[in-house]
């Protein structure tokens, strides 16, 4: 390759790198902006309204995310990445597995309390995609990992079967956590709306609990189950 051709190729390569970087930055910016739109307009915000609030077009949103499900997945992954980063730092700092489980739970319940619309948006994938489980799995993966790690050997067993038992046990626990958390969220929303009596006396008791109290309560139940 001649020197001139080599120089031209370098310019093309630099432009390609800049374009990739620009696209990545734009992608991350759109996710952050979309989350703000969801907070302001609710989890049922339409893609038309999303585009209007973002000052762009649906075609641009779809160019980056494919469709609404793609945006939901991107929001879920943003939350997962932030969650995992915090847990990994805690782990490096020598935090015990029991405390990691509690902190995972606290992160989950805090999101339900502080960012309910974003949570509902990212876990309510369109039925036609048949992929609700994928979003739920991604959004709960940090909790799955920490609970799996906390399962004692006497319960899990050794080898591949032991790994499977740990995973199955953790999936069951996360399903329990999600059920409790979403019931707590619905009760809080119902109480905040003030549009009728809560469905049960027990729900009124749930509403009184803070995110930290919920995390401590559920963590103690998991610890008791683990023995």
Question: What's the pLDDT tens digit per position in 89-105?
Answer: 887 888 887 888 888 88
Tell me: pLDDT of 3 over 80: no
Count of domains forming the chain? 2
What pLDDT, on the 0 to 100 scale, is given for residue 96? 83
Residues 52 and 77 reside in one and the same domain: no
Structure tokens at 173: 């626990």
Tell me: pLDDT of 117 over 70: yes
Residues 182 and 80 reside in one and the same domain: yes
What pLDDT, on the 0 to 100 scale, is given for residue 154? 43
Place of tokens 């390569």: 13
Tell me which of 226 and 13 has the higher pLDDT. 226
Question: What's the pLDDT tens digit per position in 48-77?
Answer: 999 999 999 999 999 999 988 889 888 888
Residues 3 and 52 reside in one and the same domain: yes
Residues 209 and 140 reside in one and the same domain: yes
Question: How much of the chain exceeds pLDDT 70, in percent?
Answer: 69
Residues 206 and 161 reside in one and the same domain: yes
Radius of gyration over alpha carbons of the chain, in Å? 22
Least confident residue range of 73-87, 148-162, 199-213: 148-162
> Which among 124, 117, 121 is positioned nearest to 40, based on CA atoms?
117
- Whether the CB-CB separation of 47 and 37 falls below 8 Å is answered with no
Residues 132 and 33 reside in one and the same domain: no
What pLDDT, on the 0 to 100 scale, is given for residue 158? 53
Residues 52 and 94 reside in one and the same domain: no
113-136: average pLDDT: 70
Residue ending a domain, choose from 66, 101, 117: 66
Tell me which of 184 and 158 has the higher pLDDT. 184
Taking the whole predicted model, whether its pTM rises above 0.85 is answered as no
Residue ending a domain, choose from 41, 66, 91: 66
217-223: average pLDDT: 89
Q: Which residues have C-beta within 8 Å of that of residue 183, sequence separation ≥ 6?
A: 203, 206
Residues 43 and 124 reside in one and the same domain: no
Q: Which domain holds residue 11?
A: 1-66
Q: What are phi and psi of 123, to 5 degrees?
A: -110, 10
Residues 96 and 191 reside in one and the same domain: yes
Question: What's the pLDDT tens digit per position in 152-182?
Answer: 544 445 554 456 776 777 778 878 888 899 9
């Amino acid at each position: 390759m001649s020197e001139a051709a080599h120089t031209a190729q370098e310019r093309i390569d630099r432009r390609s790198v800049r374009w990739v970087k620009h696209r990545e930055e734009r992608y991350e910016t759109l996710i952050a902006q979309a989350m703000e739109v969801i907070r302001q307009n609710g989890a049922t915000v339409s893609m038309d309204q999303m585009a209007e609030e973002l000052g762009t077009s649906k075609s641009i949103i779809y160019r980056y995310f494919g469709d609404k499900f793609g945006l939901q997945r991107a929001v879920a992954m943003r939350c997962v990445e932030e969650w995992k980063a915090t847990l990994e730092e805690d782990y490096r700092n020598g935090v015990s597995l029991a405390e990691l489980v509690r902190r995972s739970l606290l992160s989950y319940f805090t999101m339900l309390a502080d960012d309910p619309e974003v949570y509902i948006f990212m876990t309510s994938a369109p039925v036609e995609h048949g992929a609700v489980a994928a979003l739920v799995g991604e959004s709960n993966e940090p909790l799955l990992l920490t609970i799996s790690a906390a399962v004692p050997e006497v319960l899990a067993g050794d080898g591949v079967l032991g790994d499977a038992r740990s995973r199955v046990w953790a999936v069951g626990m996360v399903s329990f956590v999600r059920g409790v958390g979403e019931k707590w969220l619905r009760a809080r929303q119902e109480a905040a709306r003030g549009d009728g009596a809560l469905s049960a006396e027990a729900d009124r008791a749930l509403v009184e609990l803070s995110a930290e109290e919920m995390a401590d309560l559920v963590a103690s139940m998991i610890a008791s189950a683990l023995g």
